[in-house]
Structure 1
Amino acid sequence: MDKISVIVPCFNEEEVLPLFYKEVVHTLEKIQNIDYEILFINDGSQDHSEDILKLLAHKNKHCFYYSFSRNFGKEAAMYAGLENASGDYVVIMDADLQHPPYLLESMYQALKYEDYDCCAGKRIDRIGENKLRNFLSHSFYKVIQYLTKMDMDDGAGDFRMMTRQMVDAILELKEYNRYMKGMFSFVGFNTKWLEFHNVERPAGKTKWSFKSLFSYAFKGIFSFSSTPITMAGVIGGILILIACFISLYSIFIHHLSYLTSLVLFLSGIQLVFVAILGQYCSSCYFESKQRPIYIIKNTNKKV
């Protein structure tokens, strides 16, 4: 009998957790000849999420919770779930029900009976979401695909079911600064895409602010591409040529204000490039410390 592990990162999701549990259990119990487990990864929630998870675990022997000692981030929560999942097939999905549970059966059928290692959901629209956020998200995926040369389309998120072989391959990637969407693409394997329309969360609010989204975007770029450093060198060479041209022009017309503007402009460019290099250096710095990706404070899973 096959076993499906469902990994659910949670951060302050007290309002939606009971709804999520009801929908997912109903879907899983309709799939014939499978066993299942639901791993709730409580990522340092400050509401009553942990209390709800304890009740769900007491109610259903298939439910397990892992509570972090603090908020380590969604990437760490997904990694913790993958490390502790015991299923033949492993699913990652959000607790806000924006990843439709009804797709789980189709995902399982694709991996079980078709030649796929991964079956992922792909959102084909963003109806009901902020237009500025939609534009920035779409632009980001265009940029990161160009920089990394990897398959990371807009709408292709973390919602997916994977075979044990693919999960083990992802667990081989031990870096501290994790960007899971890039890791899914990096390890390869055959992926089937299931399209679905955007679903608004039935309760609670999104935890992703513009600041956190920008931070996440830059993490993805710096984790999987060295192109920004190359671009810095190219732009630096072009600016040197421009500086030489403007310097000669200023000498001939005796108008030194051009030089002042040029110095200020080049100083700004230098600071930008130093910041880019600093991002790569800080990433290496944190990797060298070899700190744990997460720390579990409480769990009901017996070792």
Structure 2
Amino acid sequence: MSILLSVVVPVFNEEDVLPLFEDRLRPVLDGLDVPYEVLAVDDGSRDATPLVLQKMRQRWPQLRFIRLQRNSGHQNALTAGLHHARGAYVASIDVDLQDPPETIAEMLRHAEASGLDVVYGIRADRTSDTPFKRWTAGLYYRVVRRVVGAEVPAEAGDFRLLSRRAVDALTGLKEHKPVYRLLVPWLGLPTGEVTYVRQARAAGQSKYPVSKMVRLALDSVTGFSSAPLRVATWLGCAGVVVCALLGAGGLAAYLRGHVVPGWSSLLVVMVFLGALQLLCLGLLGEYVARIFTALQNRPAYVVSFDSETVANR
């Protein structure tokens, strides 16, 4: 029997929350009364997550899990899930239960009734997040919507439903550092939205620290726009103008016979120019690094174990 719905779940060191996730997700999917699979992608967990998944599979035949050889990152784990999912529709959801599994049923109904290829889960209420998290998320979406385009929905993360046409389009792209919250809108397919209230994490600690959020923001901007390079150009032009004005002021003071010690102002200018050059080199380096990664052509992930392959032996 062909699978109608695949649910892709990236997992990294989530041994505490997995049983709670099963208790919430399985009744929802069983209640749909359609052929489905749950594809858990273990992103190189270092705790007991693989053992918990094996026990879950014994009592949940629709659960399939693959284990990546090393920690490849959340977006690459999603890539592995999209490549291995077999459903006519593919939903992606994090395991921490901040996004309610019950919304998947509403997404599927909305997609089938309206013939949509993409249904976004939109966070209508984020009060469960910390003020810092809400502020940084708002800043991120303001920046990417200005740089990439207004078609990027605000408050939409990686909780979404995709049709097989959308999945095939995404897996056909040769992205080495994919950011799906920007790639999916870029496809331009018919979309819809389902709103929900974001919950607090059910158990464990967040696996997305500030460093990973900064990396996601850099990948989002550098992967979809050359605007930072133009920013570097304009900063360089501004630096030249500032230096020209300071030089003209210094020359005018010399001609008037005013000897100004000026060592502190000279130091400030030198530091300013040095910082400006380092900033421009850093922005340029981000793009060179992406070119270097693309030329290496290494796979985004390596699968070390697939429960489906083992079961079919």
Length-normalised TM-score, structure 1: 0.95
Aligned residue for 2:195, secondary structure, equals strand
Find the residue that maps to 1:124 and give its secondary structure: strand
Q: CA deviation at 1:129?
A: 1.9
Deviation at 1:187, TM superposition (A): 1.1
Of 37-46 and 204-213, more deviation after overlay is shown by: 204-213
Match of 2:68 in 1: 68
1:105 equivalent in structure 2? 105
* Distance (whole Å) between structure 2 residues aligned to residue 54 and residue 8 of structure 1: 15
Please tell me whether Structure 1 or Structure 2 has the larger radius of gyration of its CA atoms.
Answer: 2
- Match of residue 257 from structure 2: none
Contact 1:12 1:49 in 2 (8 A): yes
The one-letter amino acid of 1:297's match is S
2:115 is matched by which residue type in structure 1? D
1:8 corresponds to which residue? 9
Partner in structure 2 of residue 144 of structure 1:
144
Q: Is the 8 A contact 1:150 1:185 kept in 2?
A: no
**Whole-angstrom CA distance in 2 between matches of 1:125 and 1:251:** 59
SS of alignment partner, residue 193 of structure 1: strand
Whole-angstrom CA distance in 1 between matches of 2:3 and 2:190? 20
Contact preservation (8 Å) 1:4, 1:87 = yes
Deviation track 1:173-203 (CA, whole Å, cap 9, x = no partner) reads 1221111111111112111111111211221
Query: SS state of the match for residue 65, structure 1?
Result: strand
Show structure 1 runs of 4+ deviating over 3 A.
254-260
Moved more, 78-87 or 214-223: 214-223
Separation in 2, partners of 1:128, 1:81: 28
Q: Which amino acid aligns with 1:275?
A: G
1:223 aligns with 2:223: yes
Supply the distance in 2 between the matched residues of 1:164 and 1:216 (Cα, whole angstroms).
Answer: 26
Alpha-carbon contact 2:91-2:160 (below 8 Å) kept: yes
Aligned to 1:156: 156
Q: Secondary structure at the match of 2:35?
A: strand
Q: Corresponding residue for 1:270?
A: 277
Q: TM-score, normalised by structure 2?
A: 0.92
Could you say which residue in structure 2 is the equivalent of 1:250?
250
| C-alpha distance in structure 2 between counterparts of 1:128 and 1:88, whole Å | 33
Partner of 1:198: 198
Q: Which residue of 1 aligns with 2:31?
A: 30
Taking the aligned partners of 2:302 and 2:150, their CA distance within structure 1 comes to: 31
Shift of 1:128: 2.6
| TM-fit CA distance, 1:261 | 2.6
Query: Who is 1:178 aligned against?
Result: 178
Aligned residue number for residue 307 of structure 2: 300
Quick check: 248-257 or 137-146, which moved more? 248-257
Q: How many residues align?
A: 302
CA distance in 1 between counterparts of 2:3 and 2:305 reads 28
Deviation at 1:38, TM superposition (A): 0.4
C-alpha deviation, 1:152, in angstroms = 2.8
Partner of 1:238: 238
Paired amino acid for 2:11? C
Report the AA paired with residue 296 of structure 2.
Answer: K
Paired residues of 1:247 and 1:259 also in contact (CA < 8 A): no
The 1-side partners of 2:72 and 2:191 are apart by: 29
The equivalent of 1:94 in structure 2 is 94
The letter of the residue matching 1:14 is E
Deviations, residues 59-108 of structure 1 (Å, cap 9, x unaligned): 22211110111110111110001000110000100111111111111111
Q: Matched residue of 1:270: which SS?
A: helix
1:199-214 matches, within 5 Å, as 199-214=199-214
Residue 30 of structure 1 aligns to a residue whose secondary structure is: helix
Aligned residues with identical type, % of pairs: 27
Deviations 1:135-182, CA, capped at 9 Å, x for gaps: 122112111111112533442011111110011011111221111111
Query: What's the CA shift string for 1:233-280, capped at 9, x where partnerless?
Result: 122112212211110101111335444432221111011000000010
Displacement of 1:293 in angstroms is 0.8
1:8 shift after superposition: 0.3
